[in-house]
Chains A and B, each alone.
Chain A
Amino acid sequence: MTVNLAKGQSVSLQKSTGESLSVVRMGLGWKAAPRRGLFGTRTREIDLDASAVLYADKTPSDVVFFQHLVSNDGSIRHTGDNLVGGVGAGGDDESILVDLPRVPVHITQIVFTVSSYTGQNFQQVENAHCRLVDEATGQELARYDLAGGGAHTGQIMAKVYRDGSGGWQMAAIGAPAQARTFQDMLPAIAPFL
């Protein structure tokens, strides 16, 4: 059963059977806002880049993005850059696979962001989502939909973090940021750690 998250909400990542999860996929998607006026059917390409930043406490330790598709420890894999975007409402544009048992012990949280390398802002994006899927079963665990809009070029979507009892939780963040790459995003992420 999907849990629809609201901004700031969090959910514990447990299978319904109580087993712990192994590989989860964070799917991020967005859709271009329809053009107004003439030539309204001309497609507009939105090139957003999904990144995942691995934090050890509050120190960024590694990052997975289009130029570094696998974290050094191999636990997090980006399935590749999508240069066009806007597959649709349900489809994911970019996916990041997280092998939870393999995440190094010092990594306490993984923050997922979307930013526009070409500087397009979110006014051109109608809606964006991120959803966490259990890769073993294809079942959606949690989903967070953001309304589009805003003159910012980056968005901090969600984070997956260790809870006190050794399990994992996902929290929806949904905070805007002025950023073209994840580096620009780091100061904006800090308050959410």
Chain B
Amino acid sequence: MTAELVPGQNHPLPSARLEVRVSAARPVAAAVVLTDGSGRAPGPGRVAHCGAAPPPGVAAPGPPAAGHHLALDLGALPPGVERLHLALALPPGAGAFGATAAPHTDVATPDGTGVASFTLAGLTAETAVVALEFYLRAGAWKVRAVGQGYAGGMAALLHDHGVPDAAALAAAVTAGPDRPVHPGSGLPGPGRPRPTPSATAPNATAPTPPPATAGPPVPVAGDAPGLTMDERLYNQVWGVFEDAARSAAAYRSAADFADSRQEAELEALLADPAARFGPAAESARREIRARRDDLERRAREVLERDSAQLLAEMRAVEAAMPAPMARWDAPVWADWRAPREEPPYAVRLGDLHLPDHPGLRVPMLVRMPLPRGLWVDAGASPDHGVPGPGVPGPPPGRGGLRGTAAAVAAALAARLLACRPPGGMLLHAVDPDGAAAAALAPFARAGLLAGPPATGLPAVAALVDSLVKRVDLVRMALRGGADDALPPSVDRAARLLLVHDFPYGFDDRTVGGLRYLAEEGPAAGVHLLLVADRADAAGYGPALDPFWHGLTRLSPVPQDCLADPWVEHVWTFEPLVPAPGSTVVTDLLHRLA
């Protein structure tokens, strides 16, 4: 995973050929200063910038832009060069870095594997900054996060690195050559204003600008507060979720208003018998409809612009997601290795989407360790659902739904196991009539089941009792602040209890035990994953209602079942299912074993 650097931190580089990406809220000029071991540049030819032919090994940066993409080949540098300094500067008159969002730099290998990234936070009155330094140490190149700002601008920065005639060169670097940006660069041009509704609004016949080229800043992954990259990604996903909900709310409210205004105006037209008929009435009606269509079209343009921006941001985020937060088809699973440390920041339970933003899938992330049990609803009515790409065939019937639910639960269980080091979470299963044997088989083959699935009541009771006892002990120890005094039989591993076809195989006493586990288990490292149709447990009456409400319900088929917390749009939840024929889950279990 990409290392998130703090100022002064260094990081080894895996290869001599590197790609450096810079993204900033406003157009910035970029330059690379090549220096010797003492940090001095012998001449202006040792500065790669947009206005001159670059020295070997460094591609010339483009003119000032909100995004830069530089290729470096550290093996091809002129002899004597032992350091490269990546400098960024705001063009004259563009203010200081303190007034914009912090610029972000990413270093990656040419095949796109992230090496290190660095966000230049904390700048104030500086107008130029050394972002990164690549340096040769004991025959190996390393990258260091610098973040040294210069209130005196690029001229002061260049002067500091011993570049002669720094002021003139600085002017050339920050001004950029007098030519338009190549349209194929995919990066927004310098100073291109953010599109605003008013900019696209007035002319009804103007063609809609394609949203992809009307460039707001290039989205980057991790563009949110947080101490770690995972936390930043988690917060960014919530940001996208909220923005998507609100942007849809803006469109829906505008469209509703357009409709109600049209209705009121048509009604007013009808109220006047004299104006009801004739060519004048006809043209008035046409005008009313045109006004409605115009407003709706402008609102849709804004929605499409927002959609495109959120999609681009989500693409960047998806590419940076660590395995527990990634889709099953993400490349990160292909070379997945069992983690060495304890649970990740969050885990992904499914995807959410809204018809207003076609194509946008917002990951449903929950913090780890899971605060509540999970319930895959085998009685979920597929009526509201639309078959998604992950679920093959038509919406399954009742029988098929149980199988789908078992498969979704198995994939979830594998994902939860993959959140911890091997042996960090043990899996227990309850499968009263053996119906989920197929779903459990890969776990059994990989030796990841802590005992055979419990079938009859005695086995279920023994399993539930042992987990209840464990939770009791751990709670007692935690409460007494003596978690090191646990008996040796109580190991540190978390438990995942996967219960199929609840409440079959349970009696009143074991149901009570399960309710206790659902409430108190998460704090003691015992987690519940239930596959159940609530109707099957109707015999218990309303006494079980708090139990169901205490679980996070997940539908095994796409279903419109989740309201966002801001404007309460109904979102379609889609479970995470590996593509048919994909071996990602079995591979993962194999590596965990």
Interface check B510, CB cutoff 8 A = no
- Residues of A within 8 Å of B260, CB to CB, are 59
| Structural contact, A106 and B243, CB atoms closer than 8 A | no
Interface check B113, CB cutoff 8 A = no
User: Most B CB atoms within 10 A — which of A59, A74, A100?
Assistant: A74
| Structural contact, A61 and B566, CB atoms closer than 8 A | no
User: Do A72 and B257 contact each other (CB < 8 Å), given the known contacts A105-B299, A106-B295?
Assistant: no
| Structural contact, B193 and A74, CB atoms closer than 8 A | no
Alpha-carbon separation in the docked complex, A104 to B246 (Å): 10
- Residues of B within 8 Å of A106, CB to CB, are 253-254, 257-258, 295, 299
| Structural contact, A73 and B249, CB atoms closer than 8 A | yes
- Residues of B within 8 Å of A101, CB to CB, are 194-198
| Structural contact, A166 and B198, CB atoms closer than 8 A | yes
- Residues of A within 8 Å of B95, CB to CB, are 137
Interface check B242, CB cutoff 8 A = yes
Interface string of A38-63 (1 = CB under 8 A from B): 00000000000000000011010110
| Structural contact, A72 and B566, CB atoms closer than 8 A | yes
User: Do A166 and B201 contact each other (CB < 8 Å), given the known contacts A70-B566, A105-B302?
Assistant: yes
| Structural contact, B257 and A74, CB atoms closer than 8 A | no
Smallest CB separation, A149 vs chain B (Å):
38
Interface check A162, CB cutoff 8 A = yes
Interface check B250, CB cutoff 8 A = yes
- A105: contacting residue among B242, B298, B566, CB under 8 A: B298
- Residues of A within 8 Å of B257, CB to CB, are 56, 59, 61, 106
- B250: contacting residue among A75, A162, A166, CB under 8 A: A75
| Structural contact, B202 and A72, CB atoms closer than 8 A | no
Smallest CB separation, A71 vs chain B (Å):
8
Alpha-carbon separation in the docked complex, A137 to B247 (Å): 26
| Structural contact, A73 and B198, CB atoms closer than 8 A | no
Smallest CB separation, B180 vs chain A (Å):
20
Taking CB atoms and an 8 Å cut-off, the chain B residues in 77-122 that contact chain A are 95, 99
Smallest CB separation, B329 vs chain A (Å):
31
- A72: contacting residue among B201, B253, B302, CB under 8 A: B253
| Structural contact, A103 and B197, CB atoms closer than 8 A | yes
User: Do A74 and B202 contact each other (CB < 8 Å), given the known contacts A105-B298, A106-B257?
Assistant: no
Residue of B nearest to A103 (CB): B197
Alpha-carbon separation in the docked complex, A140 to B566 (Å): 31
Interface check B168, CB cutoff 8 A = no
Interface check A102, CB cutoff 8 A = yes
Alpha-carbon separation in the docked complex, A121 to B113 (Å): 64
- Residues of A within 8 Å of B566, CB to CB, are 70, 72, 74
| Structural contact, B199 and A166, CB atoms closer than 8 A | yes
User: Do A104 and B299 contact each other (CB < 8 Å), given the known contacts A57-B261, A61-B257, A73-B250?
Assistant: yes
Interface string of B280-305 (1 = CB under 8 A from A): 00000000000000010011001000
User: Most A CB atoms within 10 A — which of B99, B246, B261, B566?
Assistant: B246
User: Do A104 and B198 contact each other (CB < 8 Å), given the known contacts A73-B246, A74-B242, A136-B99?
Assistant: no
- Residues of B within 8 Å of A103, CB to CB, are 197
Alpha-carbon separation in the docked complex, A100 to B196 (Å): 9
Interface string of B223-260 (1 = CB under 8 A from A): 00000000000000000001100110111011001101
Alpha-carbon separation in the docked complex, A56 to B207 (Å): 25
Interface string of A56-95 (1 = CB under 8 A from B): 1101011000000010111100000000000000000000
Smallest CB separation, A23 vs chain B (Å):
11
Interface check B567, CB cutoff 8 A = yes
Residue of B nearest to A104 (CB): B250
| Structural contact, A73 and B247, CB atoms closer than 8 A | yes
User: Do A72 and B249 contact each other (CB < 8 Å), given the known contacts A57-B261, A104-B299, A106-B299?
Assistant: yes
Alpha-carbon separation in the docked complex, A166 to B200 (Å): 9
| Structural contact, B242 and A104, CB atoms closer than 8 A | no
- Residues of B within 8 Å of A72, CB to CB, are 246, 249-250, 253, 566-567
User: Do A74 and B250 contact each other (CB < 8 Å), given the known contacts A105-B295, A106-B258?
Assistant: yes
Taking CB atoms and an 8 Å cut-off, the chain A residues in 158-193 that contact chain B are 162, 165-167
Interface check A14, CB cutoff 8 A = no
- Residues of A within 8 Å of B247, CB to CB, are 73-74
| Structural contact, B196 and A104, CB atoms closer than 8 A | no
Interface check A20, CB cutoff 8 A = yes
Interface check A22, CB cutoff 8 A = yes
- Residues of A within 8 Å of B253, CB to CB, are 56, 61-62, 72-73, 104, 106
Smallest CB separation, B326 vs chain A (Å):
27
Alpha-carbon separation in the docked complex, A105 to B250 (Å): 8
- Residues of A within 8 Å of B199, CB to CB, are 20, 166
- Residues of B within 8 Å of A136, CB to CB, are 99
- A20: contacting residue among B193, B295, B567, CB under 8 A: B193
Alpha-carbon separation in the docked complex, A106 to B198 (Å): 11
| Structural contact, B198 and A20, CB atoms closer than 8 A | yes
User: Do A74 and B194 contact each other (CB < 8 Å), given the known contacts A105-B299, A166-B202?
Assistant: no
Residue of A nearest to B199 (CB): A166
Smallest CB separation, A80 vs chain B (Å):
17
Smallest CB separation, A153 vs chain B (Å):
30
User: Most B CB atoms within 10 A — which of A62, A72, A100, A103?
Assistant: A72
Smallest CB separation, A119 vs chain B (Å):
32
Alpha-carbon separation in the docked complex, A137 to B250 (Å): 27
Interface string of B557-593 (1 = CB under 8 A from A): 0000000001100000000000000000000000000
User: Do A74 and B246 contact each other (CB < 8 Å), given the known contacts A105-B201, A137-B99, A166-B202?
Assistant: yes
Interface string of B171-202 (1 = CB under 8 A from A): 00000000000000000000001111111011
Alpha-carbon separation in the docked complex, A19 to B261 (Å): 32
- Residues of B within 8 Å of A57, CB to CB, are 261
Residue of A nearest to B258 (CB): A106
Smallest CB separation, B40 vs chain A (Å):
38
Known: A104-B251, A137-B95. 4 other contacts (CB 8 A): A59-B257, A74-B249, A104-B250, A105-B197
Contacts A/B (CB < 8 Å), 16 sampled: A20-B198, A57-B261, A61-B253, A70-B566, A72-B249, A72-B250, A72-B253, A72-B567, A74-B246, A101-B195, A101-B198, A104-B299, A105-B299, A137-B95, A137-B99, A166-B198
Residues of A near any B CB (own CB < 8 A): 19-20, 22, 56-57, 59, 61-62, 70, 72-75, 100-106, 136-137, 162, 165-167
Residues of B near any A CB (own CB < 8 A): 95, 99, 193-199, 201-202, 242-243, 246-247, 249-251, 253-254, 257-258, 260-261, 295, 298-299, 302, 566-567
Those 8 A-B pairs whose CB atoms lie nearest each other, nearest first: A166-B198, A74-B246, A73-B250, A104-B250, A101-B196, A106-B254, A72-B249, A105-B298
